[in-house]
Chains A and B, each alone.
Chain A
Amino acid sequence: MEISIIRFPGTNCEVDTYNAVKKVLGITSKILSCKDTTIPKSDLIIIPGGFSYGDYLRSGAIAAREPIMSDLIKKAKNGVNILGICNGFQILTECNLLPGVLLKNNTLKFISKITNIQVTRNDTFFSKDYDKNQSVKIPVAHHDGNYFVDQETLKKIEQNEQVAMRYAEPINGSLNNIAGLYNNKFNILGMMPHPERAIDNQTGTDDGTKLFQSMFKSMSL
C-alpha cells in the first residue's frame, strides 16, 4: 500500500499526518517535495495542512500552481484517491478539483477547538468505518475555513450528496455548515478538520482513527 504526502514550503502538518498513518495503520508514507514533477504510483495521496507559501495571495493559491500539481490533477482525474486536509482542502479548490472556495472565517479570527462534526456518508473510500450521520469530535484550527460556492453549484452538491462532513453548529460561516466535501466521483475528499490530530484519546479525541481505518479497508479491497 503506497501513500504519498505532499509537502510545500510552509506546510506544517506533514509530520503529524505521517505519524498518524504510521500509528494507526503501520504504514510508512512517502513525503514528497512539491518541486518533484511526478508522484510515484500511490493508492492514496494526502495534501496535509499548514500555511503553504504563508497563505500569501490566497490560501493554497500558490501551492495549487506548483509543478507537482499537474501530475496530481492527472492522477485525480484517473481516479486515484486524494485526501486534502485543511490547507489541502484549500489547495484542492484552488486547482478546481473540488468546487467552491474557502474564505476567511466570518468571525475574522483564527479558530482552534475540538468540534462536533457529522460524518454524513459511510459508503465512500474514506468513510466505510463510520456510521451514517455519525457524530464525532475532531479538532479544527484555521483562519480561512468558510466554505462558499454559488447557489447553483451548492444545490448540485447537496443533491448529489457530495457533502462529506458538516459542523454541528456554525463556527466559521460555511454555507450549509460544510466542513468536508467530495468531488462528484467520490475519489477526492477535502476536509477542514484535522483527523491526524484525533487518533489518540490522550490528546482529547480519537474519532479521526476511523478515517484512516476506512481508507485502509478500501485500499485492501
Chain B
Amino acid sequence: MPDKDIYQSHGINDDEKKLLLDSLGREPTITEIGIFSVMWSEHCSYKSSRYWLKELHTSGKQVIQGPGENAGVVDIGDNQAVIFKMESHNHPSFIEPYQGAATGVGGIMRDVFTMGARPIALLNSLRFGEINHPKTKYLLSGVVGGIGGYGNCVGIPTISGETGFDSSYNGNNLVNAMCVGLTTHDKIFYSKASGIGNPVVYVGAKTGRDGIHGATMASGEFDDESEKNRPTVQVGDPYAEKLLLEACLELMQEDAIVSIQDMGAAGLTSSSVEMADKGQVGIELNLDKIPTRQKNMTAYEMMLSESQERMLMVLTPEKTQLAKEVFEKWGVDFEIVGEITDTNNLVVKHNNKVEANIPITYLTDSAPIYKRDASPRKQKQKSSLIINQDINIKDAILKLLNSPNICSKKWIWEQYDRSIMANTLNPAGDDAGIVRIEGTKKAIAMSSDVNPKYCTADAMKGAKQAVAECWRNIISMGAEPLAITNCLNFGNPEKPEIMYDFVKTIEGITEASKELNFPVVSGNVSLYNETNGKAINNTPTIGGVGLINDISFLEKFGSITEGDQVFLIGNKGKNLSCSAFEEVIMGRNTEDPPDVNLKTEKINGEIVKKLINDQLLSSCHDISDGGLIISICELLIKSNIGADINIANNGDILEELFAENQSRYIVSVSSSNQDKMFEILNNASIEYYHLGNITGNELKVNDKIVISLRELTEAFENLIPELMAS
C-alpha cells in the first residue's frame, strides 16, 4: 500500500490526493501514482495557467491550427504552411547546461516534425544571471555548446535569437528554444488517435532511466539541494534524432499514419494519454514490448522515463509492415506496443500484470485547474528619473554598446551553423532571421523578443511591448507578420503578485496580437522559476514568424553607402524610465516602461513595410534597447561606415538619443529615392525626422561628439569574448 509521504514526494498536494482517490475510487498502484503525478504536474497540466490561457487571441485567416496540438500551423500560400513553436527547458539547463539546452532543442524539433514539417530554422532566447556571477561563464558556455551541438548535428540552421543577463536569473537561467518547419497543406499530421484496434507503435531511441521525474522537477522551485539532482536530466543524441526525423518524414509520404506525437515531458505517459484523450478513445500498452537499454526496468520507470528521441504513432493496420521497413532502413527501433481500445481508459500491462487502469478523463479533464489568487504587489511610488549631473554622451554610448544586454553576441552565434540548408538570406545580428523557401521566391522571417525589465515593472505594458517589438522586427526585414508562439517564464504562481502579473501578461499579449493581427498559434508556460524564494523577472518570450512573398528586394536591401540619408520614422525620444540608459548609466530603475500605442505601431509598420518592398530604403533597423543612437551605432558597426547626425536641440538631448519609446525605426535612403519616400510618409501622415547622412568612418553627433568606427566596434564586440577568455 502506498504510504502518506509518497504523494508529497510526487508533487501531489493533499487536495490533489483527495481528488485522485475520489476519482479512482480505490488506492492507486505505484505506477498509477507516477502517472497522475506527471499528468497533473504544472508542466503537463498547466494547472495554474490553463484558466487564463484561453483568453489569448488565437484566430485569423492565416491560422490553420492554433494552440492545442504539438505546434501551431500557419498558411503561407501556394498550398504551403509553416509549423512552429517555442518551448522552455529551464530547470534542466541550470542543473546540466549542455544537455539541458541540447535536449530542449531536440524536444522542440520533434514537436514540429511530428506534425509533418521538415524543420528549416531554429531560434533561441537565453537568459543568464549577472555577467560577472560565478556561474555565468559556465552556464553560458554549456548552454551555447549544447544548442549548437544538437542543432548543428541534426543539420538545421540556428538563425536568430536573444541573450540577456540580469541578476534575477542568478539562480534560474532560462533556455527557450523555437523551431520553424515547412510542409504542404495535405501533409499536416495531428495527434488525435482513432480506429479501435489500430496498432500503437513506438519508434526511436531505446528507453532508459534518464529524466524520470523531469516533469515534476520542472514544476518545482530550486533550493540548495538542487545540484544533487543531476541524474534527472536527460541526455540527448542528435544523431538518433536525425535518423528519427528522416524516417518519420519518409513514412509521412505514405498514408500510414493515423496520429503521431513525440514523447517529451512525461514520455510514454503524456503521449499515450494525450493522443487517446484527443480522439476520445482508450489505449492499452504492453510494456513488455518497449525497447529498453537498461535491464529490468519497472512499469513505473518505463511510463515515466524521459529518454529522448522517441515518438508514438497510431498506424493503419495495412501499412504497418511498410512502416516497419522504413524505420528499419534508417536503423531506428520500431515496435508495436499497444492498441487503441473503446474503453476510454489507459491500461498498462507488464509481465502479465495490469499495472495501471485509469479512465483517461481523470488525467486530463479532471486534472486540477487552479484559479489562483492574483493581486498586484504594493504599488511603489513611481519616481521619475532626475539627472542632475553632466553626462558625457560619448562615454555613455560606448558604455551602453559594451553592456551585457546590448553588446554583440557574436561569440554565441558563431557557434551555431547558420548556412546549412543553403537558404539563409541574411547575416547574423539582424533584427530577424530570414530563410528562403527552397525552390520559390518566398522567404520566412523570424524573431524572438521580450524586455523582461519592462514586464516586471508593468506586466501588461511589457507584454504588449514584447508582441509589438516582435512584430516590428519582422516588419524591419520587409516581411508580413503572420503569427506568434510564446514561452511564458515566471516565478511561483502560488504568490498572488506573480499570478497577477501572469494574468496581466495574457491581457497584454491578447490586446497586442488582436490589434496587430498577430495571433498566438502555440506556446508553453514555465512556472516556479525561483530559487530560495527569489523569482526571475517576468519573461514572456514572444517568437514571431512573417512572410516575404518576393525576395528580390533583398539584393540591394541592407547595404548602406556613402551619401545615403538617415531618418527617424516615428516620434522623438521621450522618457528614460526603464531604459538601458537608466540602468547602465544611472544605475537606477524607475519602473515606468514605455507604453505602446498599437494604432501608431500598426500604421508606422505598414508604411515601413511598403517602403522596403518598394525598394526605397537601403536599410531599416527598429529602435529598441538603448534608444535611437544605439540603433544607429548598430547599423554603422554592421555596415562598417560612419554617419554625421544632427539632433535638433529642442528637447532633452539625452531623451532624444536614449529613450526607448516604441513604434520607431531608423532608416537609410539614397538621395535619389528620398522624394518618393517623403510622398508615401506624408500621405500617411507619419511623423518622421531627418537625422543626417552616411559618411566617413566615424559617428559624429551635433558636430560635438565624435566616435571612430573602431572605438564603436571594440566597445560593441569585446565584452563576451573577454569574459569567456578570462
Asked if the two chains touch in their complex, CB atoms less than 8 Å apart, one says yes
Quick check: A203 and B424 within 8 Å, CB to CB?
yes
| Cβ contacts A119-145/B at 8 Å (1 or 0 each) | 000000000000000000001010100
Within residues 291 to 344 of chain B, which ones have a CB less than 8 A from any CB in chain A? 330-331
Q: Can you list 13 residue pairs at the A/B interface with Cβ under 8 Å?
A: A10-B239, A10-B243, A12-B242, A16-B421, A19-B438, A54-B239, A54-B240, A56-B239, A111-B415, A139-B418, A141-B419, A197-B420, A204-B424
Query: Chain A: which residue is nearest B153 at the CB level?
Result: A51
Interface membership of chain A positions 161-185, coded 1 if the CB is closer than 8 angstroms to chain B and 0 otherwise: 0000000000000000000000000
CA distance A114 to B418 in the complex (A): 10
Q: What A residues does B237 contact at CB under 8 A? A: 54
CA distance A110 to B141 in the complex (A): 12
Instruction: Kindly report which residue of chain A lies nearest to residue B156, judged by CB atoms.
Output: A12
Q: What separation, in Å, do the CA atoms of A15 and B425 have in the docked complex?
A: 18
B331/A9 in contact, CB under 8 A: yes
Residues of chain B contacted by A203 (CB below 8 angstroms)? 419, 422-425, 436
Do the beta carbons of A112 and B418 come within 8 Å of each other? yes
Q: Check: B554 CB closer than 8 A to any chain A CB.
A: yes
Beyond A9-B239, A51-B152, 14 additional contacts (C-beta under 8 Å) are: A9-B330, A9-B331, A12-B153, A12-B154, A50-B155, A51-B238, A51-B242, A53-B239, A197-B420, A199-B422, A201-B555, A203-B422, A203-B424, A204-B419
Are A139 and B419 in touch, CB under 8 angstroms? yes
Question: Which of the listed residues B149, B239, B419, B427 has the most CB atoms from chain A within 10 Å of its own CB?
Answer: B419
| Chain A stretch 2-31: residues in CB contact (< 8 A) with chain B | 9-10, 12-13, 15-16, 19-20
Cβ–Cβ contact B427 & A204, under 8 A: yes
Number of A-B pairs whose CB atoms are under 8 Å?
Answer: 90
Given contacts A51-B153, A110-B148, whether A202 and B551 have CB atoms under 8 Å apart is yes
- A141 — which chain B residues lie within 8 A by C-beta? 152, 417-420
In chain B, what residue has the closest Cβ to A51? Answer: B153
Partner-B contacts on A (CB < 8 A): 9-10, 12-13, 15-16, 19-20, 50-51, 53-56, 109-114, 139, 141, 143, 194, 196-197, 199-204
| B416, CB-defined interface residue at 8 Å | yes
Residue B365 at the chain A interface, CB threshold 8 Å? no
CA distance A194 to B155 in the complex (A): 14
Residues of B within 8 A of A199 (CB): 422
Taking a contact as CB atoms under 8 Å apart, the answer to whether B415 and A110 are in contact is yes
Q: Which residues of A contact B722 (CB under 8 A)?
A: none
- Report which B residues bind A (CB closer than 8 A): 145, 148-149, 152-155, 237-240, 242-243, 330-331, 413-425, 427, 436, 438, 551, 554-555
Q: A16 contacts B420, CB within 8 Å?
A: yes
- Return chain B residues, CB-CB under 8 Å to A204: 419, 424, 427
The residue in chain A whose Cβ has the minimal distance to the Cβ of B141 is A109
Are B152 and A110 within 8 A (Cβ)? yes
User: How far is it, in angstroms, between the C-alpha of A201 and the C-alpha of B237 when the chains are bound?
Assistant: 34
- Hey, which chain A residues are within 8 Å of B417, CB to CB? 110, 112, 141
CA–CA, A114 and B416, complex, Å: 13
Q: State the CA gap A15–B422 with chains docked (Å).
A: 10
Q: Is the CB of A112 within 8 A of B154?
A: no
- The answer for the CA separation of A110 and B148 in the assembled complex, in Å, is 8
Q: Is the CB of B418 within 8 A of A19?
A: no
In this complex, what residue of A is CB-closest to B149? A110
CB neighbours (8 Å) of A9 from chain B are: 239, 242-243, 330-331
* Residues from chain B with Cβ under 8 Å of A111 in the complex: 414-415
A162 to B663 Cα, complex, angstroms: 57
Distance A54 CA – B425 CA, assembled complex (angstroms)? 27
Q: How far is the CA of A202 from the CA of B154 in the complex (A)?
A: 24
**Pairs of residues from A and B, 10 with the lowest C-beta to C-beta distance, nearest first:** A12-B155, A54-B239, A139-B419, A141-B417, A51-B153, A197-B419, A16-B422, A110-B415, A197-B422, A112-B417
By the criterion CB–CB under 8 Å, are A113 and B414 in contact? yes
CA distance A8 to B237 in the complex (A): 17
A194 touching B419 by the CB < 8 A rule? yes
Chain B nearest CB, measured from A197 CB (Å): 4
Asked, given contacts A9-B331, A19-B422, A203-B422, whether A51 binds B415 with beta carbons under 8 Å apart, the answer is no
CA–CA, A183 and B238, complex, Å: 33
Residues in B with CB closer than 8 Å to A112 are 152, 413-419
How near does chain B come to A63, taking the closest CB pair, in angstroms? 12
A19, A54, A113, A139: the one within 8 Å of B153 (CB): A54
> Which residues of A sit under 8 angstroms from B148, Cβ to Cβ?
110
Cross-chain contact A55 with B415 (CB below 8 angstroms)? no
Report yes or no: B422 in contact with A55, Cβ–Cβ below 8 A: no
Pick the residue among B153, B155, B240, B424 that contacts A55 (CB under 8 A): B153
Decide: A109 near B415, CB < 8 A? Known: A51-B242, A141-B152.
Answer: yes
B284 to chain A, nearest CB (A): 33
Contacts of B555 in A (CB 8 A): 201-202
Q: Which of B238, B422, B425, B555 has the most CB of A within 10 A?
A: B422
> Which residues of chain B are within 8 angstroms of A109 by Cβ–Cβ distance?
145, 414-415
- Please give, as numbers and ranges, the residues of chain B lying within 8 Å of A19 by CB-CB distance: 422, 438
